[in-house]
Amino acid sequence: QVQLVESGGGLVQPGGSLRLSCAVSGFTLDADDDYYTIGWFRQAPGKEREGVSSISVRNDGRSDDASWYADSVKGRFTISRDNAKNTLYLQMNSLKPEDTAVYYCASAEYFSSWYLGEGYWGQGTQVTVSS
């Protein structure tokens, strides 16, 4: 059974940085011949959930990861994976008050299904950007 456990949220001042982690169990990020999309959503109070960033992986020995970022975070956030730790990360720099939200890790077989919110979800971690 796939489980995704987020950590790393907290309170940070505007302009600051945080790194979110998503510990993955139930599947291996670098399993041969496997393909999936994994990434981050966020939801602020009173707002709809939105996709933040994802990577789409095809472990066929020939393909590079395909990264996707929402326009609102391009140039500030970086998604990455550590296969040895089976963990996904989201490095968030130059944080703004509008980045305040609960951040969720989610995975699905394809980007299209991931973007629709299908698949597996973690419980979320709170990020608050405030002075």
Q: Taking the CA of residue 118 as centre, how many other CA atoms within 13 Å lie in the half-sphere pointing to its CB? A: 8
Q: What tens digit of pLDDT does each residue of 30-80 get?
A: 877 688 899 999 999 999 999 999 999 887 777 788 999 999 999 999 999
CB 119 within 8 A of CB 58: no
Which residues are CB-contacts of 18 (< 8 A; sequence separation ≥ 6)? Answer: 8, 9, 10, 12, 92, 95, 127
What is d(CA 76, CA 99) in angstroms, rounded to the nearest whole number? 11
Specify the DSSP element, H or E, that contains 29: none
Tokens at 9, concatenated: 């949220």
Confidence of residue 28 (pLDDT cuts 50, 70, 90): confident
The confidence score (pLDDT) of residue 85 equals 96
Q: What tens digit of pLDDT does each residue of 9-19 get?
A: 999 999 999 99
Helix, coil or strand: residue 131: coil
The confidence score (pLDDT) of residue 78 equals 98
Taking alpha carbons only, the member of 100, 97, 116 closest to residue 108 is: 116
What is d(CA 122, CA 43) in angstroms, rounded to the nearest whole number? 13
Helix, coil or strand: residue 45: coil
Please identify which residue in the block is written with the tokens 């130059």: 94
What is d(CA 8, CA 22) in angstroms, rounded to the nearest whole number? 9
The confidence score (pLDDT) of residue 59 equals 76
Tell me the average pLDDT across 118-124.
96
The confidence score (pLDDT) of residue 114 equals 95
Tell me the average pLDDT across 95-109.
97
Mean pLDDT of the chain: 94
The confidence score (pLDDT) of residue 30 equals 80
